[in-house]
Structure 1
Amino acid sequence: MNWNDLAQNILDNVGGTSNVKNATHCATRLRLTLYDDSKADKDKIDKLSGVLGVVNQGGQLQVIIGNDIPKAYDAFMNVYKIGGVVLEDESKTTEKETEKKKKPLSAALDIIAGIFIPVIPVMAGSGVLKALLSVIAMLGWISTTSQTYQILNFVSNTVFYFLPVILAHSASVKFKTNPYISMVLGAMLIDPNFVQMIAQAAKSHSTIKLFGLPVTQTNYGSSVVPILLVIWVLSYIEPLINKIVPKVVRIIIAPLLILLVMTPLTFIVIAPIGAWLGDGLAAIIGWINGYAGWAIPLIVGALSPLLVMTGMHYALISVAINNLAKVGWENIVGPGMLVSNIAQGGAALAVATKTKDSKLKALGISTGISAVLGITEPALYGVNLRYKNPLIASMIGGGIGGLFLGIMGVRRFQQVPPVLLSLPSFIGNDFRNFWFAVIGLVISFIAAYVIQLFMGIPEELKPKADKKVEEKHVLSPLAGEVEELSDVNNVVFSQGMLGKGAAVFPTDGKIYAPFGAKVRVFNSDTKHAIGLASTDGVELLIHCGLDTVKLDGKGFTSHIKQDQDVKKGDLMLEFDPEFISQQGYDPTTMVLVTNANDFDEIKSVKLGKIQSLDTLLYLR
């Protein structure tokens, strides 16, 4: 897989560098925040080799890559920076863009996901360590009184005890507050002095007061909701105080006033409300379990694929973490999502078993194994959702497995990813809960696998071989001396990272449209590069000079603008090769086919002198 080619194709099909506000990634997805979503061609991106699916969710265009997302993200950022544009901080968007509000549900899910995604890995690692310690202790391999056990035990508990501090930092990023003030507000909820005051007040049956007002005596260790509410309120208080305090004394006075305002608000109002809400959520879950304990794992097991597609599983994860903190166990996410992941893998592997298509067989095996191990999105978007029947089979299998776990009252005791390696998190006081979890996995896998074997893949939905673009010629957009691309003194171009083609040392610096096309990439400030998409499937990058982005448009005169349609022979750009050389830059112009993967062969027709609109590249 040529990751730079894929990154360039994604960038071209989301409207180019000028349309990308921000780029991040999670475990499987490239997450792009765009200025104008309508410029993104989701269908073209979805058909790119290496892309498993595309969704627009939570105000982001999310390109599902799978386990290789780090490579894709690095390539995207590399290609993006070569374009000469720096990703804009969201805090610097225009007033009009700031006023563009997301739908309430999308906004809420985006906030929850943004807060919990960074925290989940460290919680998962700590949860697995705690689960393994439980197994080792139950098997008698280590004494619970040994210092080794005690140290590892408090290490595994550290993230959960200091959860208010960790969530305070994560929430500060999402709510755009000062992270250090936020962490102080989280730390004061679990400060040993405050904890001791609560213990002494409880022992003496007295009341803790702040400015004469009663402080609710609650233990906030491992809590979730209180600190999230505190940082949310801080996001309104902090900018208000910063606006009032003069800049000269702001660095000292503003934090002082924020602490003086937030401390009583936190201890007397906000944190107690958060604790009450957290207790209420735990009580509701307890009530549902008391009357219909089978319902939650069944629903989550069946609907997890849809929850993942909409991002709503992050909301459930936050509730599950809260329940773990309050009662020490949860059956909201762990059991249902565990059997759902296994069912996703079973359905994908059944597709691999049934199909005669070699590419689909390989895809089904790789994504099926990945899903069984806990990363479901490659299977979900690459196989199951694409062919529909596997998705139905996995939802039925997940529902059946979830129903079994619900009837048996299976619970998870640690916050860990719902994967095979997390099975120790289902060990409670004995192995009974664990073995029921294992049986539920087997049931969900077999059910999804067998159902998919019987359902099969409709013939019309089976993948069809990609058709190669017919033989084409690309004309030279400028006059000059043709050179081999490999001779260019820039590794990005010489190694074909941005595409295949040729280099032309210009004679007059006039750039003409080599074919009828839409201008997909053009920065009106730097003017140094043009990205064209022809009407018959050729995507061309004309990059005028090396590092000429640093000239900020000096020496360039443009005759086009972004998204303009041009005809063959239209004068698009003029630049002064002599001026560029005098400024210490190489005016050599690269003409690159950026969708090179769509062609079997791309080569330069001739070396040496060439005139504008003479044949330069041969494609087939």
Structure 2
Amino acid sequence: MRNDPASTATAILHRVGGPANVTSVAHCMTRLRLTLADPTAVDEEGLRALPGVLGVVPDGPTRQIVLGPGVVDEVTKEVAARVGAAGQPGPAEARLKAQGPFRTALRRVANVFVPLIPALIGCGILAGLNGLLLNTGRLPALTPALSAIASAFLALIAVFVGHNTAKEFGGTPVLGGAVAAVVVYPGVAKVTAFGTHLAPGQGGVLGALAAALLATRVEKWVRGRVPGALDVLLTPTVTVLVSGLVTLYGLMYAAGAVATAIGTAANWLLATTGAAAGLLLGGLFLPLVMLGLHQALIPIHTTLIEQQGYTVLLPLLAMAGAGQVGAALAVYVRTRHDVSVPTASLRTTIRSALPAGLLGVGEPLIYGVSLPLGRPFLTACAGGAAGGAFVGFFAMLGTKVGATAIGPSGWALFPLLTGNRGVGPAAAIYAGGLLTAYAVGFTATYLFGLPRGPAWRHRRDARPGRVVPPA
């Protein structure tokens, strides 16, 4: 039975110091992210003990509260309504000043790209459907329309990146979008920089990100120096002019070189060290998800999709979730004869979280099962490494597996799969990787993930059904 979102929101706010202590409210697919004025006011144990809270990740002044897909949207709305009524929030700079520079940079990049994920998923699925129709020759009258719908967002994604970048870094969003639009404007083909004509889209999302960052800095500099009566005229004009010229005659070329290097490096990595690269990426991705740092990979995925039509990294990383599913299944089987209340609660958690895990949402299993128990988290990483090595091995043989969009993984990634040899081989290799990760995660956890007998219960709280994350 689902908890009432309003009650959950009230309980969460009570344990983080009240609405007045919250300076920012955001969410991703599974996590409510609250930035706090005073992180020491948080009742960490009480927050983790709330029904419906699957885990809590401290991140400087931010608390990432894992609620699961669907639920997080409803609870976030209730929390935002209560925080808004309390007169929050403050500026982005104040919200992030307590974090280190590296974590701050990653968090802000994630804040730029995470809001774009729903459109990337929807357009990616439509692109895959359109490709299937083209390959089979069905509904030829519909494919041009599907192509236009699926491609339009990606063609203009630079504008959205610019808008979100300026918003995140304290500039005027529409000015960030206006400068970033230069990157994709067809007329840039008439501009010569460094001895060559520019190409529309050169630099992609990286160029748009850099252009909007520059626009924000220029806007702030100009606004602090012009009279108030001229601000409405001079500030936007100088911002667009200066940032636009620097974008045309520097940033597009530089960002294009970086984007090309990313694509070249990804292809080389898989072609020469595919199995080893897959082993490493698949094995290390769960810790990134645990820390909430996986969102920082979105610009790389997006760059690869812009260049090649798909990202070859996502199917490798998706193996981590499959290893997690195998590990959870092993825990479920190993505890089937234990009738104690804590074990019954654990098995209930596994049953409720497995559907989301199969669809690539791993946080419920991470925070509800493997991480609190300790060793199953490591054996789940082993499963992800094995699945990644399987997919990477076929890349070494010349068959690459890619995803036309980012966001889902697990079984939900199948509609987005493609590759250099078509959808069929890509889907078959990806399925083989999932099965490998399931099997290795299950076997490693069954054999090594839990001590024999009831000794594993020392990892569990005395309160029925609650799991204590490791210190």
Question: Given the two structures, how large is their TM-score scaled by the length of structure 1?
Answer: 0.67
Among candidates 281, 291, 306, match of residue 272 of structure 2: 291
CA distance in 2 between counterparts of 1:78 and 1:253 reads 37
Name 2:125's counterpart in structure 1: 128
The CA RMSD over aligned residues, in Å, is 2.5
Aligned counterpart for 2:72 among listed residues 64, 69, 74: 69
Task: State the partner residue of 2:311.
Answer: 330
2:38 to 13, 36, 39: 36
Aligned residues of 1:345 and 1:368 also touching (Cα < 8 A): yes
Q: Does 1:395 align with 2:397?
A: no
* Match runs of 1:606-617 below 5 Å: none
Q: How does 1:409-428 map to 2 (within 5 A)?
A: 409=395, 410-416=400-406, 417-428=408-419
Partner of 1:280: 261
Change in 2 beyond 3 A, CA 1:36/1:423: same
Shift of the alpha carbon at 1:346? 2.3
Distance 1:17 1:335 in 2: 40
Of the two structures, which has the highest relative contact order with CA contacts closer than 8 Å and spacing of 6 or more?
2
Residue matched to 1:341: 321
Equivalent position of 1:52 in the other structure: 54
Cα deviation, 1:225-274, whole Å, max 9, x if unaligned, reads: 11111111112110111122221122122211222212211100122111
Aligned match of 2:138: 141
Task: Verify the 8 A CA contact 2:22 2:36 in the aligned structure 1.
Answer: yes
List gaps (5 residues or longer) in structure 2: 466-471
1:162 corresponds to: 156
Q: Is the aligned partner of 1:110 residue 2:113? A: no
Q: Distance in 2 between matches of 1:158 and 1:254?
A: 31
| Deviation of 1:422 (Å) | 2.1
Cα displacement (A) at 1:24: 2.0
State the alpha-carbon separation in 2 of the partners of residues 259 and 215 from structure 1: 23
User: Secondary structure of the residue that 2:50 maps to in structure 1?
Assistant: coil
Helix, strand or coil at the partner of 1:87: coil
| Superimposed CA distance per residue, residues 350-405 of structure 1 (whole angstroms, 9 cap, x where no aligned partner) | 32333343322121012122111121111111111111232122111111111010
Moved more, 261-270 or 457-466: 457-466
How far residue 291 of structure 1 moved from its aligned partner, in angstroms, is 2.6
Change (3 A) 1:72 1:259: closer
Task: Tell me the equivalent position of 2:358.
Answer: 372
Q: CA 1:405 to 1:98, structure 2 compared with 1: closer, same or farther past 3 Å?
A: closer
Q: Does 1:441 align with 2:434?
A: yes
Letter in structure 2 aligned against 1:352: Y
Alignment of 1:504-583 (within 5 A): none
Matched-pair contact (CA < 8 Å) for 1:218–1:272: no
Q: 1:188 aligns with which of 168, 182, 189?
A: 182
Alpha-carbon distance change, 157 to 101 in structure 1, aligned in 2, over 3 angstroms? same
CA contact (8 A) 2:310 2:418 kept: no
Residue identity matched to 1:64: V
Give the drift of 1:214.
6.2
For 1:376, give the aligned amino acid.
G
Q: Distance in 2 between matches of 1:260 and 1:278?
A: 25
Q: Is contact 1:297-1:406 (8 Å) kept?
A: yes
How much does 1:74 deviate?
A: 3.3
Equivalent residue for 2:165, pick from 160, 171, 175: 171
State the alpha-carbon separation in 2 of the partners of residues 133 and 353 from structure 1: 42
What is the distance in 2 between the residues matched to 1:4 and 1:258? 43
TM-score, normalised to structure 2's length?
A: 0.87
* Distance 1:266-1:302 versus aligned 2 partners, 3 A rule: same
Counterpart for residue 469 of structure 2: none
* 1:102 match: secondary structure: coil
Q: Is the 8 A contact 1:52 1:65 kept in 2?
A: yes
C-alpha distance in 2 between matches for 1:87 and 1:343: 41
Contact 2:282 2:319 in 1 (8 A): yes
Pair 388,33 (structure 1): closer, same or farther in 2 beyond 3 Å: same
Count of aligned pairs: 445
Please state how far the C-alpha of 1:215 moved relative to its aligned partner.
Answer: 7.0
Unaligned runs of 5+ in 1: 199-207, 469-620
Residues 1:15 and 2:17 aligned together: yes
Among 203, 215, 227, the residue aligned to 1:246: 227
Give, in angstroms, the shift of residue 58 of structure 1: 6.0
The structure whose residues are more often strand, as a share, is 1
Question: Aligned equivalents of 1:267 and 1:74: distance in 2?
Answer: 40
CA contact (8 A) 1:296 1:406 kept: yes
The 8 Å contact of residues 164 and 222 in structure 1, kept in 2 or not, is answered as no
How far 1:109 sits from its partner (Å)?
Answer: 0.9
What letter matches 1:341 in structure 2?
Answer: G
C-alpha spacing 1:219/1:74, structure 2 compared with 1 (3 Å): closer
Q: What whole-Å deviation, never above 9, does each CA across 1:72-105 have from its counterpart, x for those lacking one?
A: 2234345556xx62212326x8xxx579452122
Q: Equivalences for 1:198-209 in 2 at 5 Å?
A: 208=192
Equivalent-residue separation in structure 2 for 1:165 and 1:344 (angstroms): 37
- Name the CA shift for 1:8/1:329 in 2 (closer, same or farther; >3 Å): closer
Is the CA contact (8 Å cut-off) linking 1:349 and 1:365 kept in structure 2? no
Letter in 2 for 1:63: I
* Percent of residue pairs bearing the same amino acid type: 24
Specify the SS of the correspondent of 2:301. Answer: helix
1:2 Cα offset (Å): 4.2
Q: Structure 1 residues 152, 31: CA separation in 2 closer, same or farther (over 3 Å shift)?
A: same
Shift of 1:117: 0.3
Match of 2:29 in 1: 27
Runs of 4+ aligned structure 1 residues displaced above 6 Å come to: none
Tell me the alpha carbon deviations over residues 454-498 of structure 1, each in whole angstroms, 9 at most, x when there is no partner: 335443246456379xxxxxxxxxxxxxxxxxxxxxxxxxxxxxx
- What CA distance in whole angstroms lies between the structure 2 residues aligned with 1:407 and 1:422? 20
The alpha-carbon distance between structure 1 residues 215 and 241, as it changes in their structure 2 partners (threshold 3 A), is farther
* Aligned partner of residue 118 in structure 1, secondary structure: helix
Distance 2:443 2:115 in 1: 37
For 1:225, what is the secondary structure of its paired residue? helix
Higher helix fraction (1 or 2)? 2
TM superposition shift of 1:216:
5.3
> What letter corresponds to residue 123 of structure 2 in structure 1?
S
Instruction: Supply the distance in 1 between the matched residues of 2:462 and 2:240 (Cα, whole angstroms).
Output: 64
**Equivalent residue of 1:385, what SS?**
helix
Against the structure 1 CA distance between its residues 453 and 98, is the aligned structure 2 distance closer, same or farther, given a 3 Å change threshold? closer
